[in-house]
Amino acid sequence: MPTLTLLLCGIASPVFGQRPPDDTVLGTAIAAAEAGRFDAAQHPGIATHPAYGWVEYAALRRNMDLMLPVQAQAFLGRYRGQPLAEAFRADWLASRSRVKDWAGFRAAWSPQVRSTSLRCAELNARLAAGAADAQWVSDAQALWRSSAKAFPSECDEPFAALAMRGGLTPALRWERLEKAAAEWDPEVMRSAAAGLPADEAALANDYAAFVQAIHPRALNWPKTARSRLIASYGLARLGKSVPGTAEAQLPKYAQALGFTEEDRARVLYQIALWTVASYEPESARRLAAVPASAYDERLHEWRVREALARSDWRAALDAIRRMSDKQRSDSRWTWFEARTAELTGDKAGAQALYRKAAQKSDFHGFLAADRLDQPYALCPWLPDDSAAAKAAVARDPALVRAISLFRAERKAWAQKEWEDALSRFDQAQRRLAVAVAQEGGWFDRGVFGLVNVGGKNYPEETRLYQLRFPIHHADTIRREAAKHRLDPAWVAAEIRAESVFDPRARSPANAMGLMQVLPGTGAEVARKAGLPWGGAQSLYDADTNIVLGTTYLRQLLDKYEGKPYEVIAAYNAGPAPLARWKTQRPGMDPDIWIETISYKETRDYVARVLSFSTVYDWRMSASDKREGDALRLTDRMHGRSGPRKKFSCPLAR
C-alpha cells in the first residue's frame, strides 16, 4: 500500500501495554513524515506503535491546504477524544481559514477551541454563512473584551463587521482602551480609539501618546476619572524606567487633574519598586512615600531587602512585621524575622521564631535548624501503592504515548498526551504516572506533575522526595565531583535546578544539556582544561555535559575563593552581575547577601540549589548503605567541611 494511503487510512489501534518499538524509531519516523519522505517499510514496527497517529499527523500537516475535507474529517473521527485530534483540528481550522473554506471550517469547529485567531476565524465563518445574528454580536463583543493585547489579523474582518452593525459602541472601545493603558500598550490604545467619534478619538489618541511618552498637553485634559487614570498609568510607566523623572513630574499632573490617593499610589508604587530594585540611595524615602493601602507582598518584600542591604536591622524587622500573617509565616520571612530580632537584642523571641522556621524542609528551614543545632526536618512519604495499580496506570494509552513522544524528543506533543492522561487520573494514579514517567527517563514529571497540578495544591506531595529529587548518571556525577573536589550532592542539585536530568534540555538562551552549558562556555572551559571539544551538539551527551559543567564549577570556585553561594549566583546570572552585587554589599553574611540579590531568578536559584544540595546529600548518603545524613547547610554555604547532620520528622516526634 502506498505510504500516503496508509497514513490517510490509519491503522488499527495496537494492544496497549505491549512494549512499543524503540522510540528512536518513532522520532526518525516523525522527522521523515515532516520532510515528506516517510516510508513505513523503512521504520520496522512503526505502524503498530501506540503513538503512530502522530506520525500520520506530521505527514498530513505538510500539505493541509490541499487536503480534502473528507480526509480531515476521517482523521478527526479516527482520533476523536485524543489530544492528537485537537492538535490536528487547530491546524485544519487554520488551513480552512487561509483558503476561506468556511463550510469546512464550520464542520470541524469545536467550542473547546480557545485560540483567539481561530475564534475570530469562526466569527468570520458565521459571517460568511449569513449567520451574524444577535448571538454572533454577543460572541464578538465577548472576544473584544477578552484581552488587552493586540488581536491577530484574523480579527480585523469580524471586528469591522461588528462596528458596522453598531456592536462596537464607544463604551466598549473605551473599556478596551483603559485595559490597554493598564498594560502600558499605546498601540492597542490607538487601535481601540479608531472608531470613536472625532472629538473622543482625538482625546483618546492623546491619552495613548501620554502613555508612550508623557507630554504637557495632559495638563489641560478634562478633569475626569478617566483622565486621571490614564495619566497615572503613563507616569507609572515612566516610573519603571526613570523613577526620578516620574517623581519630579508627578506633582504638577496630580494637581492639574486632581489625582486621588489611588492615582498617586499607582505612580509612587512603580517609582519605589524600580528604585529599590537597584538599591538606589532614594530607596527608603520612596518606599515610605507609597501609601500603606498600595503595598502588596512584592513591595513588602522589597522594603525588607532594602533595609537588609543597609544593615538596618530594626527597619528590616519593622518591615517584616508590617507583612500579613500569611506572608510572615513563610519560612523565608520567619527566618529573617528571627535574624533581625536577634540582631536587635531579642534573643528569646528569635529562638521561638527559629524553632518555627526549622519545621520547614527548605533553605531557610535548614538554616534555622543549624542555628538551633537540631536535626533537619524531613518527613519522606513512600506511598504503599500496589504493583497492579502501577501496571494499570502504565498501560494507559495516553501515558504510553506521552512517554514515547518524550523519548522521541517531541516534548510539546508529549505534554498534550500527559495532560490528557492526568485528566482521568485520581491523585494516587497521578503519583504512579509520575513514577512510570521517570522510569521512562522523563524526570521532570516529579517537578511538574506533583504538588501544584491543574490549579490545585497538594502540599503533602512535597514529601515525595524520591520522585521530586531523582538521581540519574550518579556514577558520572560522583566520578567528576571527586576529580574536581566538589560535593556530588551539589552537582546533582545543579542538574536538578537546571534541567531536571533531561540531557536534551535547551534554554531560550541556548544553554544545553544536563547542566545547561552555553556552547561558548563549553568551548572555553574545554580549552582552559585541555579537554576535547566536540562542538555544541556534544553538550547533549550526558557524560560530556557533566565533565564540562563540573570543570566550570571548579573554575568558578577557584575564582571566587571557595564561596559556593557566589559560584551558584555566577553560574546563574554570570560574572558581571555578581561583581556588581559583591561591590555593593561586601562582607555581608551569606544569607543576607543572597536575599538582597537584585534578580529574583538568581536570588531564588541560589537558595534552591543550596537546599537541593542538602536533600541530595541525604539521598545519596542513604544510597551508600547508611542512614541518610548531610553536611550542615551553613558549612556548605561557606564552602567548609564539617560534621554531618541527621534528619528527623517533626510529625513523628
Nearest one of 4, 3, 50 to 23, comparing CA atoms: 50
Q: How far apart are CA 223 and CA 625, in angstroms?
A: 76
Q: In the 8-state DSSP scheme, what is residue 617?
A: H
φ and ψ of 23, to 5 deg = -70, -15
CA quadruple 299, 300, 304, 307: dihedral, nearest 10 = 60
User: Is the distance from CB of 249 to CB of 267 less than 8 angstroms?
Assistant: no
Q: Which residues touch 265 (CB under 8 Å, ≥6 apart)?
A: 290, 291, 293, 294
CB 382 within 8 A of CB 622: no
Q: Which residues pair with 517 in a beta bridge?
A: 512
Beta carbons of 438 and 467 less than 8 angstroms apart? yes
Question: Helix, strand, coil: what percent of the chain each, to 5?
Answer: 65, 5, 30
End-to-end CA distance of the chain: 69
DSSP string computed for 410-435: -HHHHHHHHHHHHTT--HHHHHHHHH
Cβ pair 248, 282 in contact under 8 A:
no
> From the CA atom positions of the chain, what is the Rg in Å?
29
CA distances 364 to 312, 323, 335, 359, 487, Å, are: 20, 18, 6, 10, 20
Choosing from 417, 498, 566, 595, the catalytic residue is: 498
The set of cell numbers assigned to 542 is 550526558
154 is catalytic: no
The grid coordinates of residue 491 equal 552537582
Q: How does DSSP classify residue 100?
A: T
Give the Cβ contact number of residue 26 at 10 Å.
27
Which residues are known to be catalytic?
498
